[in-house]
Structures are given as C-alpha cells and as structure tokens.
Amino acid sequence: MTTLVIAEHSNLTLRASTLNTIAAALQLGEPVSVLVAGYGAGTAAQEASQVVGVHQVLHADAPHYAEQLAEEMAVLIQKLATDFTTLIAPATVFGRNLLPRVAALLDIAPITDILAIESNDTFVRPIYAGNALAKVQTLETKKVLSVRPTSFEATAAQGGNASVVKIEACAAVRLSQFKSRDLASSDRPELAGARVVISGGRGLQSGENFQMLEALADKLGAAIGASRAAVDAGYVPNDYQVGQTGKIVAPELYIAVGISGAVQHLAGMKDSKVIVAINKDPDAPIFQVADYGLVADLFQAIPELTAAL
Amino acid sequence: MKVVVALKRVIDYNVKIRVKSDGTGVETANVKMSMNPFDEIALEEAVRLKEAGIVSEVIAVTLGTQACQDVLRTALAVGADRVVLIETDVELQPLAVATCLKAFVQKEQPRLVLLGKQAIDDDANQTGQMLAALLGWAQATNAFKLEIAGDHATVTREIDGGLETLEASLPVIVTADLRLNTPRYATLPNIMKAKKKTIESLSPADLGVDPSPRLKTLLVSDPPVRKPGIVVNSVTELVEKLRNEARVI
C-alpha cells in the first residue's frame, strides 16, 4: 500500500504544485514516493528528497523525458504502477494532460481535480465550474487521482531526507515531438501561486489601462490576472485568465477590478482568503462574494489605492 | 481524410444550475440543454479543415439517450457530413466514453479526432487523453492553433504561463481550448435542412463495450457559501480594513 506522486518540475526545480500534491498524498496515510522523470533532472530529484514526508524519490533521466510529454511519461508510469496502489498528480495543465492517459493505460477510472480527501476511497471534486460539489467513491483496485493544488497546503520543502533511487527509462515512443515553448516573461510571481492577485475585467476598457494595475501590483508584490471578458476583448493574453476556463487561484488577497463576476470567473477565485471588489456597478455579482466591496470608478480608485499603500 | 468529432450534450452554459434537494445530482428537468461549448469549438475546427480542403468528411458522434439527437442536428446544421448516436441510458463516465469512442474510431478509421478539452458539466478533462491512450495515438490537449500539412499536425497548446508547440504524425487526438476559433451559428435554412438528414445509431454493445460506471457519486451538494462582506465607502476605509481587520497588507 504505497502512493506515487508524479512530480511537476522544470528539470532544475520542482514546481510549487508538487509540494501541494505531496501534502495531499500524505493525507492518504501511506508511504509516499515521488517520481521525478526528466532530463538532467538531478537537482529536481535532490530537491524532492528534501521535502518533508517523502519516503523515496524515483529518478528517471532520459532525453525523451526532457519536456515530460504525456506519451512518454505515461508508459513509464504504467510500468511503475504495479508497485503502487495510488498514483497522484497535480491538477495543473501538466497533470490534466498526463494523468487520464496513465489511467486509461491501466484501465482505471481516474478522479480528477480533487478538493478534499474524505477517506482513502472517497473524494470531493467540483462540478459545474464549482457551482456544485460531488462526493465520489472509487470502486477500482488502484486509485489514479489529481488534486487541485490550492486546496492542499504545501508540505515543507526542506527537512526531509529521502533516498533517491535511479530507475531505468522506458524506450522512447516518439508519438509527438516538442518544438517550442513561448512563456510570458515576467518578474511577477506566478499567478497560480501568488500571495496577492489583482485581476482586471472589461471595466478596464483597454489593454493600456492594465498598466494601472501594474503600479498597484508592484506595491503589493502581486500577480496580475484577468477575467475571460478582458481576454476575449484582447486586452491581455489568455494566460492571464482566472476562471473555470483559465487558472484557479486562491491567494491571501484577491482584488477584482472592473470585473462583473460571471459564474465562470467566480469559479476560479472564490476560494481566495480575502476578496476585494472595485466596480462602479453596485449590482455587479462580484460584490456577492467580496469581503470588501468598493462601489467606485476604478480610474479614480486604483491610482488612489496605489498612492495610499 | 476523415475527421471524427466527439460531442457532449450538457446543461447550457448560461443556465444557473440547481442542486437537487436529495443530493443525487443537479436538476435537469425543464433545463435548457446545448452542445458543450468546447465541443462546438472542436466541431468548428473540423468544418474549417473541410472548407480548407484538408479534410474530406466530418463525422460527429455523441453518446447518451435519444435526447442527444438535438446536438447532432446542430452539428449537421453547422457542417458535419454524418452524425452518429451511440445510444445508451447508462450514466456515462469518461473512461466508458473513451472506450466506446475507441471502438468507433477503429471502425471509421479517421486520421484526426477532435474533442473539447473538457465538458462544462462534470469538468473531468479526461476523455481526449484517455482515447489517445487506448488508441496508442499522439495527443495534443488544450489546442490554441492546429495546422495540418501532409501527414503532420502542428499544434500549439495553452499551458501554464504561455504556449507550447508540438508536432506529431497523424493520426492524432486534439482537444480544443477556448481560443482555437470562434464557432459559427447555424443558419435557419441549414437548421431546416438538418432536420431531414439521417442520424445513424449504434449501441455500446454493437461496439463491444460495457459502459457501466466505475465510480460512484455518493452526494452532490452546494458549495459552501462565503460569509457576507461589507461595502466600504472610500479607498481610505478599504486600506484601513485590509491593514487592521483582514491583515493582508
């Protein structure tokens, strides 16, 4: 009875989501191993061995794991799965892409995007963009799970002392090839893991006006997000999007600026600890989830707020 | 080259859902149903590939009860050439759907299968990836851009923090993200024409699949409600509250 966490990493370092996933795995109460499959990923594997609660790190290193393509990773995990009763990954783009592929190879129905662990076979997950919660029990012999990182507090990154075991890579399947990656470069914290998030909506009226949020974000060390309406209007790129169809965030402080609060946006941020809404429409649905609402013209309120901090 | 597009009938995205009081699910009686929005995008992409001369036939398939015929009529009206209902009353879970689709794909032999990245009812985000695994095909999820040249597909995907481009030889599974395209509306004449077209029908048994659920939903409930907040009157008051009450700045 052991659990295998599939680490999300950049070869150099673990992604923050891996620590949340290890925390969820520890709740299952069985020894936790972590798989770090990559290329030149020795430092990420070392890092995993320091994480509190980890029993063992399995490190597979090969050129075809460099980009952690689902087709390559799934074959490796399928092979390892015989030794584990539970496989668990973060419900990030990485985990969402990979985990169902692994599950199908094993002929196991997976449970994805878990918010809470009720018992070792029963889990709570959101449906209808978080407008309802489903308590789901698995009848399978093995559990293949993905967990929403923001729902599990990260385990400590330092203090553990697990062994790192080198494991053999599987032969490359080469079904798809990685060509390029185009990541928005920013000095700001990553949206999904930021302590403070400031999001703009259609009320900003243009992409240029998002610069107003930049000044405020600088003061607060915040990440910048956006509603789907602002993305659809072309103000900002899609990776800013917070919501059911974008990123799910749960920061300490979420400031919604000029966002009406469509259901699909609320699904992405309503688990934030403190929500501030600034909107000139007092009837905007965003005020129903806000801890602090300010009915004001954002073009006055934001510079004033920036100056006051 | 044939393309198969898998569609799901879901509660319309504009409907505010209601959880049933007995906790068995979500109210669907007298609720407007539509094609899953991500599947609409997948279908649009298939129709555009046909219009560009890359694809010769667009086959739309869905699984479920007779009621699912309406999304197939919509698919015909926006440009699907053939539509197929895999008919069953069983509660369908993603693995069963993927297993049925695998058998259907093996029968139809398309070089490309398009699906939405997830359905907006169960939000599972599993079917495309599982179908790719069962067929042993390449997968490109969360597609932002799809190009097909000869026997190759180049797919740009939405990932955390940006975009990623993959290349794969056909056949390939592609799941559509929001920005892949903007689906067209069906025109009235096309809707009328679609009413006269044939809907082919199969059952999971015809495909040799047992679609029984493998997961048990014990309870569906409303999410916890946030405690009501307050309206502040000024930026000064807001800053004061955030500092001294919420202590987050």
d(CA B12, CA A268): 19
Residues A159 and A195 in one domain: no
Residue with tokens 């907040």: B229
Residues A125 and A230 in one domain: no
Would you tell me how many other CB atoms lie within 10 Å of the CB of residue B233? 11
**Which residue of chain A comes nearest to B152, CA vs CA?**
A176
**Which residue of chain B comes nearest to A245, CA vs CA?**
B178
- Residue-range definition of the domain harbouring residue A34: 3-167
Residues A160 and A265 in one domain: no
Looking at this protein, which amino acid is placed at residue B113? Answer: V
Q: Is there a domain that residue A177 lies in? A: no
- Give the CATH number, domain containing residue A239: 3.40.50.1220
Q: Is there a domain that residue B57 lies in? A: yes
Interface membership of B28 toward A (CB under 8 Å)? no
Handedness of CA B100, B104, B109, B115 (dihedral sign): negative
Among residues A132, A167, A202, which one ends one of the domains? A167
Q: Is there a domain that residue A184 lies in? A: no
Per-residue pLDDT, A248: 87
Residues A21 and A139 in one domain: yes
- Residue-range definition of the domain harbouring residue B27: 2-244
Tell me the pLDDT of chain B averaged across its residues. Answer: 96
Q: Is there a domain that residue B249 lies in? A: no
Q: Is the pLDDT of residue A142 over 80?
A: yes
Tell me the pLDDT of chain A averaged across its residues. Answer: 95
Residues A11 and A143 in one domain: yes
| Contacting residues of A for B105, CB less than 8 Å apart | none
Task: Supply the pTM of this predicted model.
Answer: 0.92
Q: Is there a domain that residue B15 lies in? A: yes
Residues A221 and A285 in one domain: yes
Q: Is the pLDDT of residue A98 over 80?
A: yes
Under 8 Å CB-to-CB from A139, ≥6 apart: which residues? A121, B214, B215, B216
Q: Is the pLDDT of residue B225 over 90?
A: no
* Residue B162 confidence class, pLDDT cut points 50, 70, 90: confident
d(CA B98, CA B95): 5
Contact A308 B239 (CB under 8 A): yes
Residues A40 and A87 in one domain: yes
Q: How many residues does chain B have?
A: 249
Mean pLDDT, to the nearest integer, of A31-38? 98
Q: Is there a domain that residue B227 lies in? A: yes
Residues A212 and A258 in one domain: yes
Q: Which residues 134-193 of B have a C-beta within 8 angstroms of A?
A: 134, 136-142, 144, 154, 158-169, 172, 177-179
Q: Is there a domain that residue A174 lies in? A: no
d(CA B75, CA B5): 10
Measure CB to CB from residue B165 to each of A180, A294, A295 and give the nearest one.
A180
d(CA B38, CA B115): 8
Q: Is A110 left (phi over 0), alpha (psi -120 to 50) or beta?
A: beta
Q: Is there a domain that residue A124 lies in? A: yes
- Give the CATH number, domain containing residue B171: 3.40.50.620
Residues A241 and A297 in one domain: yes
Residues A149 and A198 in one domain: no
What is the count of structural domains for chain B?
A: 1
Per-residue pLDDT, B9: 98
d(CA B80, CA B45): 11
Strand order of the β-sheet with A292-295 is A223-226, A196-200, A253-257, A274-279, A292-295, B230-232
Contact B123 A113 (CB under 8 A): yes
Q: Which among B131, B205, B214, B216 is positioned nearest to B174, based on CA atoms?
A: B131
Per-residue pLDDT, B226: 84
Contact B178 A131 (CB under 8 A): no
Lowest mean pLDDT among A5-14, A263-272, B34-43: A263-272
Mean pLDDT, to the nearest integer, of B72-90? 98
Whether the complex's predicted ipTM surpasses the cut of 0.90: yes
Per-residue pLDDT, B161: 78
Q: Is there a domain that residue A173 lies in? A: no
Mean pLDDT, to the nearest integer, of B69-83? 98
Q: In this predicted model, which residue has the larger pLDDT, A29 or B179?
A: A29
Handedness of CA B110, B116, B117, B119 (dihedral sign): negative
Q: Which among A100, A153, A118, A253 is positioned nearest to B245, based on CA atoms?
A: A253
Per-residue pLDDT, A201: 97
Q: Is there a domain that residue B96 lies in? A: yes
Q: Is the pLDDT of residue A130 over 80?
A: yes
Q: Is there a domain that residue B213 lies in? A: yes
Contact A100 B129 (CB under 8 A): yes
Task: Tally A–B CB contacts below 8 A.
Answer: 239
Looking at this protein, which amino acid is placed at residue A290? Answer: A
d(CA A289, CA A276): 9
> pLDDT tens, A262-286?
988 998 999 899 999 999 999 999 9
* Residue B39 confidence class, pLDDT cut points 50, 70, 90: very high
Q: Is the pLDDT of residue A245 over 80?
A: no
What is the count of structural domains for chain A?
A: 2
Per-residue pLDDT, B179: 87
Q: Is there a domain that residue A172 lies in? A: no
d(CA A297, CA B234): 11
> pLDDT tens, A146-163?
999 989 999 999 999 999
Per-residue pLDDT, A183: 84
Q: Is there a domain that residue A175 lies in? A: no
Residues A10 and A159 in one domain: yes
Residues A120 and A197 in one domain: no
Per-residue pLDDT, A237: 87
Q: Is there a domain that residue A73 lies in? A: yes
Mean pLDDT, to the nearest integer, of B161-187? 94
